[in-house]
Structure formats: structure tokens, C-alpha cells
């Protein structure tokens, strides 16, 4: 089993990449089932792991909502306490579990990137005169 010190110092994900990806892509109805599939101490480590990454912040709050304050504080200290409090706020519960819902749409320009003036080719005329002479 992972120790809390190893998880914090080495900063590795306490679950496999495949499970983390499934959690990241899960909708708010499927996420609780995936979260329940790991033990409570691993769940707390995972919440702290995700909280340290801005793109996984919403996932961290969702996972932390299923953790006890004791576990989060034991494994994360002040950060765990803060994470516990944030996960219990009403705004945190209504936040989508996937970060895709929070993204602004990407717009692409329809105009040319830059406009260049035509290059006058005076050197070629001089070169042509020199070659023919």
C-alpha cells in the first residue's frame, strides 16, 4: 500500500492511468460508482493528487466529497482541510465533473494572418542586364 509521505513527495497517481482517465471522462452520474471502486485512503490520495493539478480541480472536488475530513487532513494536512471544505461548498457540488463544460469555445480567425506588399524585383533586372552585356 502507498504511504501518504510517498504519495506527496513522489507525486504519483495512486490509481492507474486507465481508471483516472475513466474518472475524468465520466459524467456526474457515473463518477460516484468509479470513485466507490477504490478504498477510502486511496480515494483521499487521489483527491489530493488531482487537486494539485488545475485541469483536474473539479474532479478533485468530486472525489473529496466522498472522503472524510480525517482522511484528507491526515494525508494532506492544511491542503486536505481546505480541500474538504471546498468539496462541501454548494458551488462545488453543482460543478461538472468534467472540465469540458467549463471551457470557452475556441474561435479561429477568418482573415489572413498578415498581408504582404508585393516585392519589387529590381535586382533581377540589374542581373539580367549584367548577364546580357
Evaluate whether residue 131 is within a structural domain: no
User: CB neighbours (10 Å) of residue 71?
Assistant: 20
The reply to whether 50 falls in a domain is yes
- For the chain, the domain total comes to 1
Does 125 fall in a domain? no
Give CA–CA dist 123/128, Å, rounded. Answer: 8
Q: Which residue segment(s) compose the domain that 98 sits in?
A: 4-102
Are 47 and 13 within 8 A, CB to CB? no
Phi, psi (deg, nearest 5) at residue 64: -65, -25
Q: Is residue 132 part of a domain?
A: no
pTM as predicted? 0.60
**Per the domain annotation, does 123 fall within a domain?**
no
59-100 confidence digits (pLDDT tens): 999 999 999 999 999 999 999 999 999 999 876 444 444 445
Q: Mind listing the pLDDT tens digit for each residue in 98-129?
A: 445 566 777 777 777 777 777 766 666 666 66
Answer yes or no: is 20 within a domain: yes
Residue 92 lies in a domain: yes
Angstrom distances, CA of residue 115 to CA of 13, 24, 99, 112: 49, 43, 37, 7
Whether residue 115 is contained in a domain is answered as no
Give the cell for residue 38.
477504490
Amino acid at each position: 500500500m502507498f504511504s501518504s509521505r510517498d504519495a506527496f513527495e513522489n507525486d504519483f497517481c495512486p490509481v492507474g492511468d486507465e481508471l483516472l482517465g475513466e474518472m475524468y471522462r465520466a459524467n456526474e452520474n457515473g463518477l460516484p460508482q468509479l470513485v466507490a471502486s477504490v478504498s477510502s485512503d486511496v480515494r483521499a490520495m487521489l483527491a489530493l493528487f488531482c487537486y494539485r493539478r488545475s485541469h483536474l480541480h473539479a474532479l478533485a472536488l468530486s472525489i473529496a466529497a466522498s472522503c472524510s475530513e480525517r482522511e484528507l487532513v491526515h494525508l494532506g494536512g492544511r491542503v486536505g482541510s481546505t480541500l474538504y471544505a471546498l468539496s462541501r461548498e454548494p458551488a462545488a457540488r453543482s460543478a461538472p465533473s468534467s472540465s469540458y463544460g467549463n471551457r470557452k469555445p475556441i474561435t479561429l480567425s477568418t482573415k489572413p494572418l498578415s498581408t504582404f506588399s508585393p516585392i519589387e524585383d529590381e535586382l533581377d533586372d540589374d542581373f539580367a542586364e549584367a548577364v546580357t552585356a
